[in-house]
Amino acid sequence: MSNLTHLTIADAIDGMDKGDFTARELTEAHISAMDETRELNAYIVETPEIALDMADASDKRRADGKAGIMEGIPIAMKDLFCTEGTQTTAASHILEGFVPTYESTVSGNLWNAGAVMLGKSNLDQFAMGSANITSYFGNVINPWQRQGSTAQLTPGGSSGGSAATVAARAAMAATGTDTGGSIRQPAAFSGIVGMKPTYGRCSRWGVVAFASSLDQAGPMTRSVRDAAIMLEAMAGYDEKDSTSVKLDVPSYQKALTGDIRGLKVGIPKEYRMDGAPKEIDQAWEQGIEWLKAAGAEPVEISLPHTKYALPAYYIIAPAECSSNLARYDGVRYGLRVDGESLDDMYERTRAEGFGDEVKRRILIGTYVLSAGYYDAYYNKARRVRTLIANDFKKAFESVDVILTPTAPSPAFGIGEKMDDPIAMYLNDVFTVPASLAGLPGISIPTALSSEGTPLGLQILGKAFDEETVLKVASVVEEAAGFSALPQLIAGGK
């Protein structure tokens, strides 16, 4: 039964429809896979009993002819989504023990579509980080290793637990959230598919907020088709989120026609970075060739303000974080550390409850929003954000999608880049600009680095045109034929 954990969502649904196996059997296989890969620390809480109950209910729905589009599929839920009755921590000490009395819209949508919850996956604390090394519950380990080495690599972040468990075949898929690259970069580091939809496509209600003008939920899967299936289940208008968009959710699978003849693919010249490893450029060139061979036309474009995206992001995101995280005060939920006065209680609670990176960002955010600096920093960054969005708008007048590398390097070792916050921030150099512009993007694994670890390519699209993004991604996926497996995998290689 162990090969059940290697199936895609699409194949598993076929298998269950045909009666080859049940949701319970599929879930049991994944529960043992979670056991086997526990060394990855991909989960903060595993929920095997809930999973089995949900699987049984799913088998019954299928028998009754009431199967949803994710019916019986066991998934990991990033521990940033509030789940009713199951602890939700955002990987922080300050929310340790918090058990929501409500369900986030996106997780609720997935359960309504028939998905089964295996557990709550680990992440960077409050989704702030690019290596999954800021979790209060310990680092997540990438199931991939460099050739001839057992050194532990980072799975990327912030959705590192989600990426690691999907790569290790211990979940068929997982939810992620992406503020500046937190779905796409870990997908690239872990050799899986990760998609950030357009801002507004998925409801943010019930998702622990980091930077509300940027946060967006999305699917992390092992194929583009699976991403299409899962996005359809997650997306949709929600009146509880005033930034959720009232648009019909298309059947994304129908977009996967494989026909991209005549499509124009933008190649932004500013994404050729000095000092980036040669193999990143080579993988990119290869991607361009594949699309050309499929009948698309590469077009060189310019996104002139690209270099200002990261510094603008590191004003806007901390500013919003300092405001959003003001709610953790030891009064309504989570940790309380007693003090001599109310203010003293707040200060001690927040000092003990937040990790170093979270505190750094709250302090930067507080500073850039404080009297006298608001205009110089925060308003300046919002003006730069307009320029970046305009760059994309102009580019999309002449192209249908944009192709870039996902990250400037393959997965690095845990412990590397840790002393220098800015070196860590640079991981998101290719993902942040589209986040600032609210655009949809996907990362697909296409090649192995010289170290034997995965590399990803990113496809960006027009707002709410996830369909074209998925269509082009499936062509790249087909051409790449990426079938390599990580070293630390359930059931062995």
Partner 1 sequence: MSVDKKTVAKIASLARIRVDEEQQEALTGELNQILGWIEQLSELDTEGVEPMTSVVEMNQPLREDVVNDGYYVDRVTKNAPESAHGFFAVPKVIE
CB of 350 to partner 1, least distance (A): 5
Question: Which position among 15, 277, 298, 311 is part of the footprint of partner 1 (CB under 8 A)?
Answer: 311
Return the number of the residue (152 or 468) whose C-beta is nearest partner 1.
468
Distance in angstroms (rounded) separating the CA atoms of residues 257 and 79 = 34
Are the CB atoms for 406 and 185 separated by under 8 Å? yes
By C-beta, is 17 or 344 nearer to partner 1?
344
Task: State which residue, 151 or 351, has the beta carbon closest to partner 1.
Answer: 351
- Tell me the DSSP string of 267-325: EEGGG--TT--HHHHHHHHHHHHHHHHTT-EEEEE--TTGGGHHHHHHHHHHHHHHHHG
Nearest approach, Cβ of residue 172 and partner 1 (Å): 31
Euclidean distance between CA atoms 375 and 459, whole angstroms: 34
Q: Helix (H, G, I), strand (E, B), or coil: what is residue 166?
A: helix
Choice between 98 and 430, CB closer to partner 1 = 98
What are the strands, taking DSSP E only, across 3-50?
A: 43-46
278 is catalytic: no
Check: CB of residue 434 under 8 Å from CB of residue 441.
Answer: yes
- DSSP annotation of 5 reads G
**In the β-sheet with 264-268, what is the strand arrangement from edge to edge?**
43-46, 116-121, 74-78, 173-178, 216-221, 193-196, 441-448, 454-461, 401-405, 264-268, 297-301
Q: Is residue 322 at the binding interface for partner 1, with CB under 8 A as the rule? A: yes
CB of 131 to partner 1, least distance (A): 17
Residue from 3, 19, 101, 493 touching partner 1 (CB under 8 A): that is 101
Instruction: Please tell me the distance from the alpha carbon of residue 110 to that of residue 104, in angstroms, as a whole number.
Output: 10
Instruction: For strands 454-461 and 441-448, give the pairing.
Output: antiparallel
Taking the complex as a whole, the smallest distance from the CB of residue 255 to partner 1 amounts, in Å, to: 21
Q: Which is nearer to partner 1, 294 or 384 (CB)?
A: 384
Identify which range of 61-69, 267-275, 301-309, 473-481 contacts partner 1 by CB under 8 A: 301-309
398 counts as catalytic: no
Residues 330-389 that bind partner 1 (CB under 8 A): 330-336, 338-339, 341-348, 350-351, 354, 359-360, 362-364, 366-367, 370, 373, 376-377, 379-387, 389
Choosing from 182, 223, 409, 474, which is the catalytic residue?
Answer: 182
CA 423 from chain center: how many Å? Answer: 20
Q: For residue 56, what are the β-bridge partners?
A: none
Per CB under 8 A, which of residues 150..189 are in contact with partner 1?
Answer: none
Q: Which of 1, 63, 293, 422 binds partner 1 (CB under 8 A)?
A: 422
Burial of 143 (0-12, 13-18, 19+ CB in 10 A): buried
Of 39-47, 273-281, 303-311, 441-449, the segment contacting partner 1 by CB under 8 A is 303-311
Number of residues interacting with partner 1: please give it, by CB under 8 A. 73
Q: Out of 1, 99, 151, 293, point to the residue binding partner 1 (CB under 8 A).
A: 99
Stretch that binds partner 1, among 20-28, 172-180, 314-322, 447-455 (CB under 8 A): 314-322
Smallest distance, Å, CB 314 to partner 1? Answer: 6
Give the binding range for partner 1 (CB under 8 A) out of 34-42, 97-105, 225-233, 252-260.
Answer: 97-105
| Residue at token pair 């203010």 | 343
Q: Which of 312, 411, 424, 475 binds partner 1 (CB under 8 A)?
A: 312
- Residue (41 or 130) nearer to partner 1, CB: 130
Question: Is residue 182 among the annotated active site residues?
Answer: yes
Check binding of 67 to partner 1 (CB under 8 A). no
Closest CA to 195 of 219, 172, 171: 219
Among 421, 452, 468, 479, interactor with partner 1 by CB under 8 A: 421
Site for partner 1 in 432-491 (CB under 8 A): 436-438, 463
Separate counts of helices (H) and strands (E) for the chain: 15, 12
Question: Which of 158, 409, 435, 443 does the annotation list as catalytic?
Answer: 158
Nearer to partner 1, 151 or 326 (CB): 326
Binder of partner 1 out of 246, 261, 278, 493 (CB under 8 A): 246
Region near partner 1 per CB under 8 A, out of 10-18, 95-103, 110-118, 445-453 = 95-103
Residue 386, C-beta contacts closer than 8 angstroms, at least 6 positions apart: none
> Binders of partner 1 among 187-216, rule CB under 8 A?
198-200, 213-214
Return the number of the residue (381 or 411) whose C-beta is nearest partner 1: 381
Min dist. Cβ of residue 283 to partner 1 (A): 28
* Contact by Cβ (8 Å): 39, 141: yes
C-alpha to C-alpha distances, 80 to 91, 323, 324, 439, nearest whole angstrom: 8, 17, 14, 22
Contact 78, 123 (CB under 8 A): yes
Rounded-to-integer distance, Cα 4 and Cα 220, Å = 18
- Whole-number minimum distance, CB 427 to partner 1, in Å? 14
**Residues near 210 by Cβ (< 8 Å), separated by ≥ 6?**
126, 127, 128, 177, 179, 317, 320, 321, 324
Nearer to partner 1, 85 or 295 (CB): 85
- Give the CA-trace dihedral at 435, 440, 445, 451, to 10 degrees: -10
Catalytic choice (78, 120, 196, 471):
78
Instruction: Please report, as a single letter, which amino acid is at residue 146.
Output: R
Work out how close the CB of 303 gets to partner 1 at its nearest, in angstroms, rounded to a whole number. 14
The residues that are catalytic are 78, 158, 182
